[in-house]
């Protein structure tokens, strides 16, 4: 009897112990380095982007497809899908994933849209635009960033993106007019050449405000008669739009 009791206890211990352990192990969030980039992107879209109200399926799909970790410096690849901006070379940064998604959604891109981006940086935002639009033109003032973004985008197969070094304040007159314009650096006003290069019916998004502080995200719509209307879409913080050297 005593033996039976003891055997019963052992059986209970043996049977029970792996279960709570397994349950515990499953509920632990797995560190990023053990999850593949595709899984991390799915999680990023669900938790940071959908959860905050982005609904445009084309934007969600683009955010799920573009390998953000390929656009950040090697030592930051493991944190590429976290909920914050990431420093890239030359003191610049890639925006937080949610801000990239929000600005893209505000543009209301269509498969035949032609888009201008001011501030190529790493090329990440350009790749997101290229997942949705027909043609993307992107201007970057720092030649080394423009060159590496161009190579990266080409390597990843984004052949309908053109990157050039220059002052994005002036837009890209030879490629204008654009259905949509996105400025990914902040200034105290929207450059007049960009407003001129926007098609009637087009949309422009830009952070506007004091360059060293927080800016307001502006959405500007040009109606079919060429009239402009301005809508404020929350506060953001971007590196400044610079002119000259
Ligand atoms: N969209 C980028 C991040 C932009 S950071 C990405 O997805 O990685 C802002 C970029 O704007 C910086 O690279 C900065 O050099 C660039 N920039 C600032 N002023 C500019 C100007 N006048 N013309 C073009 N690019 C400019």
Cα–Cα separations (whole angstroms), residue 173 to 84, 113, 137, 176, 242? 33, 17, 11, 5, 19
SS3 75: helix
Using the mean position of ligand 1's atoms as its centre, give its distance from the Cα of residue 112 in Å.
25
Are 178 and 197 in contact by the 8 Å Cβ rule? The answer is: yes
Phi, psi of 200 (to 5 degrees): -55, 135
Ligand 1 pocket, CB under 6 A: 92-94, 118-119, 121-122, 124-125, 139-142, 145, 167-169, 184-185, 239, 241-243
> What is the pTM for the complete model shown?
0.88
Structure tokens at 80: 């590429």
Structure tokens at 169: 């304040």
DSSP-derived secondary structure for 15-26 = HHTHHHHHHHHH
Q: What share of the chain is helix, strand, coil (3-state, %, to 5)?
A: 45, 25, 35
Least confident of 32-46, 194-208, 228-242: 32-46
Using the mean position of ligand 1's atoms as its centre, give its distance from the Cα of residue 3 in Å.
76
Grade residue 245 by pLDDT with cuts at 50, 70 and 90.
Answer: low
Pocket test for ligand 1, best of 127, 182, 185 (most atoms within 8 A of CB): 185
Express each pLDDT in 63-73 by its tens digit.
999 999 999 99
Express each pLDDT in 4-62 by its tens digit.
444 444 333 333 334 343 334 445 555 666 779 999 999 999 999 999 999 999 999 99
Closest among 226, 218, 164, 216 to 195, alpha carbons compared: 226
pLDDT more than 90, % of the chain: 82
Express each pLDDT in 100-143 by its tens digit.
999 999 999 999 999 999 999 999 999 999 999 999 999 999 99
């Amino acid at each position: 009897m005593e033996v039976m009791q003891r055997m019963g206890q052992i059986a209970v211990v043996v049977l029970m112990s792996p279960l709570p352990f397994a349950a515990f192990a499953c509920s632990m969030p797995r560190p990023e380095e053990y999850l593949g980039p595709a899984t991390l992107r799915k999680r990023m879209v669900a938790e940071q982007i959908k959860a905050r109200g982005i609904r445009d399926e084309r934007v969600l799909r683009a955010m799920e497809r573009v390998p953000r970790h390929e656009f950040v410096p090697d030592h930051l690849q493991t944190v590429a899908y976290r909920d914050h901006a990431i420093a890239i070379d030359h003191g610049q940064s890639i925006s937080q994933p949610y801000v990239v998604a929000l600005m893209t959604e505000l543009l209301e891109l269509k498969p035949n849209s032609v888009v201008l981006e001011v501030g190529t940086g790493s090329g990440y935002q350009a790749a997101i635009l290229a997942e949705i639009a027909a043609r993307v033109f992107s201007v970057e003032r720092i030649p080394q960033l423009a060159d590496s973004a161009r190579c990266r985008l080409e390597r990843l197969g984004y052949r309908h993106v053109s990157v050039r070094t220059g002052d994005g304040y002036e837009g890209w007159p030879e490629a204008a007019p654009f259905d949509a314009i996105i400025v990914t650096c902040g200034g105290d006003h929207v450059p007049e050449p960009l407003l001129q290069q926007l098609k009637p019916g087009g949309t422009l998004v830009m952070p506007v405000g004091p360059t060293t502080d927080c800016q307001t995200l502006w959405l500007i719509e040009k109606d079919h008669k060429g009239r402009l209307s301005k809508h404020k879409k929350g506060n953001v913080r971007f590196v400044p739009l610079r002119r000259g050297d």
